[in-house]
Amino acid sequence: MAGSPFRSALAQFEKALQYVEIDAGIVEQLKKPARLAEVNIPVAMDDGSMKVFLGYRVQYNDARGPFKGGIRYHPQVHLDEVKALAFWMTIKCAVVGIPFGGGKGGVKVDPRRLSAGELERLSRGWVQKMFPIIGPDVDVPAPDMYTNSTVMGWMVDEYSKLAGKHTPAAFTGKPIEVGGLDGREDSTAQGGVFVIKELVKKLKLTPSKIRIAVQGFGNVGYYTAKLLHDAGYKIVAISDSRGGIVSVNGKDMDPAVVMKTKKEKGLIDGCYCVGTVCDCENYKTITNKQLLEMPCDILIPAAMENQITNVNAGRIKAKIIVEMANGPTAPDADTKLFKRGITVVPDILANAGGVSGSYFEWVQNREGSRWKNHDVIAKLEPLMRESFDTVWATARKHEVDLRTAAYIIAIKRISEAMKTREKIYK
Ligand code: NAD
């Protein structure tokens, strides 16, 4: 399959294998998901008709803990993509050392074309079909692209009804009122920002001089841009699926104002205006393709897979790429970027704050407690900084890129768990 995310994931895995000694049997198992579930979800539409939507859950590996991973609603969701995302979750949880395996789910749908009622019936339908194979000790889903805390609220409610008991730990990323974590909404971004700060320290850079371009303005892109802006970094371009805006004179933009504008006008490109204050002099429109190739110091892809490929890798001008999206860089592009001296902080590290926040939520639900936002930050910050430092040191030791280093660490941890469990159960 051209541009197959799963093939990309396996290529990254194989590249790291030369630096670790693990059993051939374990390698063989890690190349395939443990279980693939494909379901048809009937949904009663508002106009009285019935539509059937295709849903997926891929459970990749649970050697280190229950399967864990988000559910994506997108018209282009396909099994190959869900497999890749489930594989990356397995690796990601091991990179940051949280006790989860990897899984991922999806529904092939454009949620923007559904009413709230249709979306709720679809979300509850996904749970009804997957109920036998998910649960707090088995597989714990969370939000991903075009799903959010509202969707998780419907899902956990449906799960609890089917289970006949209150089961908040069955899903993470829930609304706070039903056991969600104070801080889960921006934990992916928070984690990425801790990693960026650590990298900036290592490279002895000055935050106020760092120009940042962000592709994607959803949960991850928005909060990452906002937190970096608030920390004194310069946000010079932002985009969503329809295009974006770029600063013409290097002027910093405020992501909170851009979000307000987007909510009021429905678009972020075209103008950067709020109320009566218009600033179209300092900003102009930009396409997503132009944003990736524009001059900046840090490029942050925070939308889809396969954005940086062999075709545009040679034209990237950023010195650092921080992958807040999953799988934005194709393997051949990765090699090109490394040769060009561009530092790529891989998704399996950069966006691991999300699943770490989910882990804290799961722990909170299981102990029946409520954590405060400062408790979450106090746990997330050292976790992300230490994970970054370990990956950095491994990269230096083996003279490899940060992605390969992260894989080396994860493969060792997963393999140890698989070997230990085999010993126990033999
Ligand atoms: P989201 O649905 O909140 O936002 C997605 C954003 O991407 C929107 O602004 C959308 O307009 C934009 N977009 C979509 N297609 C685009 C394109 N072709 N070009 C440019 N922009 C485009 O999704 P999210 O939760 O922010 O997830 C974004 C990425 O981060 C995904 O790759 C997801 O897997 C990854 N991720 C999310 C989390 C999380 O906690 N939400 C955690 C880890 C990784």
Residues 151 and 297 in one domain: no
Supply the pLDDT for residue 275. 46
- How sure is the predictor about 3, in pLDDT bands with cuts at 50, 70 and 90? confident
**Total number of domains constituting the chain:** 2
Atom of ligand 1 nearest to the CA of 173: 40
Maximum Cα interatomic distance, the chain, rounded to a whole number of Å: 71
Residues 212 and 136 in one domain: no
Boundary (domain end) residue, out of 321, 345, 369: 345
CATH number at residue 126: 3.40.50.10860
Average pLDDT of the segment spanning 81-92: 97
Q: Residue 80: inside a domain, yes or no?
A: yes
Residues 153 and 267 in one domain: no
| C-alpha to C-alpha distance for 38 and 306, rounded to whole angstroms | 24
Nearest to 96 by CA among 375, 400, 398, 359: 359
CATH number at residue 325: 3.40.50.720
- Write phi, then psi, for 82 (nearest 5 degrees): -65, -35
Boundary (domain end) residue, out of 345, 377, 412: 345
Boundary (domain end) residue, out of 136, 169, 202: 169
* 216, pLDDT greater than 80: yes
Residues 203 and 122 in one domain: no
Residues 155 and 219 in one domain: no
Query: Higher model confidence: residue 184 or residue 135?
Result: 135
Residues 163 and 43 in one domain: yes
Residue to mutate, 151, 224, 240, ligand 1, most ligand atoms under 8 Å from C-beta: 240
In tens, the pLDDT along 349-372 reads 999 999 999 999 999 999 999 999
92 is catalytic: no
Supply the pLDDT for residue 283. 80
* 279, pLDDT greater than 80: no
Q: Residue 404: inside a domain, yes or no?
A: no
- Residues of the domain holding 46: 34-169
Q: Are 84 and 341 in contact (CB under 8 A)?
A: no
User: Ligand 1 centre from 377 Cα, in Å?
Assistant: 22
Q: Residue 350: inside a domain, yes or no?
A: no
Supply the pLDDT for residue 152. 98
User: Ligand 1 centre from 347 Cα, in Å?
Assistant: 12
Residues 152 and 260 in one domain: no
Q: What is the 3-state secondary structure (H, E, C) of 54-78?
A: EEEEEEEECCCCCEEEEEEEECCCC
Residues 273 and 332 in one domain: yes
Q: Are 331 and 8 in contact (CB under 8 A)?
A: yes
| C-alpha to C-alpha distance for 150 and 35, rounded to whole angstroms | 27
| C-alpha to C-alpha distance for 308 and 314, rounded to whole angstroms | 10
Residues 39 and 164 in one domain: yes
Residues 198 and 309 in one domain: yes
Average pLDDT of the segment spanning 364-383: 96
Residues contacting ligand 1 via CB (< 6 Å): 143-146, 188, 215-221, 239-241, 288, 302-304, 324-326, 351, 354
User: Ligand 1 centre from 307 Cα, in Å?
Assistant: 12
Residues 193 and 160 in one domain: no
Residues 165 and 232 in one domain: no
Residue to mutate, 144, 224, 245, 287, ligand 1, most ligand atoms under 8 Å from C-beta: 144
105, 92, 179, 256: CA torsion to nearest 10: -90
